[in-house]
Amino acid sequence: MRYLMMFKASDEYEAGEMPGEDSIEKMTTVMAEMAERGVLLAGDGLAPSSQGFRLQSQGGKPRVIDGPFAETKELVAGFALIQVASREEAEEWARRCFEADSGNSSGLELRRIFDADDFGDEFTPQARERSETFREVAEGNLKKD
């Protein structure tokens, strides 16, 4: 099963404060271990919301709203996409990441990513084929980096 691990932003992060050397060393060690064990599929830190934007519906049309955004507790500072055998394994990796993060984020949120079978009969053979195709292309795009 796959999970998206989201590192929640802190006020310091949103103010542009970068993690210290100790935190970077700890976090890169845990991320390297996850990669070596085949758990880590992708992951990175994100720039503060002052460098981002949102699209929201206004009258049925997209409206661009530039950051920064006020509700720090709702913002994401980084992410890791992981593949594990169980929720318990995901939780263990999350605990290790949270400890390594040394307080740079205000918390972690993990969300299981749907598999094709979660959609039932609504996921037609045609949709399944398109999904497999775009995933293969996306994986190739990641390798170009």
Given a contact cutoff of 8 angstroms between Cβ atoms, the answer to whether 69 and 54 are in contact is: yes
Tell me: the pLDDT tens digits for 19-35?
889 989 999 999 999 99
> Mean per-residue pLDDT for 67-93?
92
User: pTM here?
Assistant: 0.85
Of 9, 4, 5, 6, whose CA–CA distance to 74 is shortest? 9
The alpha carbon of residue 13 and the mean position of all alpha carbons in its chain are separated, in whole angstroms, by 16
pLDDT confidence tier of residue 145, bands split at 50, 70 and 90: low
Tell me: the pLDDT tens digits for 44-58?
999 999 999 999 999
Per DSSP, 88 falls in state H
